[in-house]
Amino acid sequence: MAITMTIEFPATPEQYDSVNEKIDVEANPPDGLIIHTAAQVGDNMRVVDVWESEEAFNSFNEQTLMPAVMEVLGPPPPDTTPAPPQIHELHKVITP
């Protein structure tokens, strides 16, 4: 079942771009990714993705994305807990 994954995190567009350069999703898209979007919202970046399954997202997140994030941004400050991504099953996906 396709899902949406939404997350908002403190980062600049430049930091977001640095993570993307490391994982090179445009040239090497991960298995199961249908669409990826990102927007600056105040001091945060908001990512909204559509994935073929939650398992596909979790695999990419654990094996590829989080190692790159840790390399670029480092660990979160000790007194904070990062918000987990919001995952929702989709009723319908239409692609042109």
pLDDT at residue 76 in the model: 80
pLDDT in tens, 30-87: 999 999 999 999 999 999 999 999 999 999 999 999 999 999 988 887 888 888 999 9
pLDDT higher than threshold 90 for residue 90: yes
- Helices then strands, counting H and E runs in the chain, come out as 3, 4
Phi, psi of 87 (to 5 degrees): -115, 130
Query: Which pLDDT score, from 0 to 100, does residue 17 have?
Result: 97
pLDDT tens readout for residues 14-31 = 999 999 999 999 999 999
Check whether 95 has a pLDDT greater than 90. Answer: no
The per-residue pLDDT for 83 is 86
Residues ≥6 apart with Cβ < 8 Å to 57:
3, 5, 32, 49, 51, 85, 87
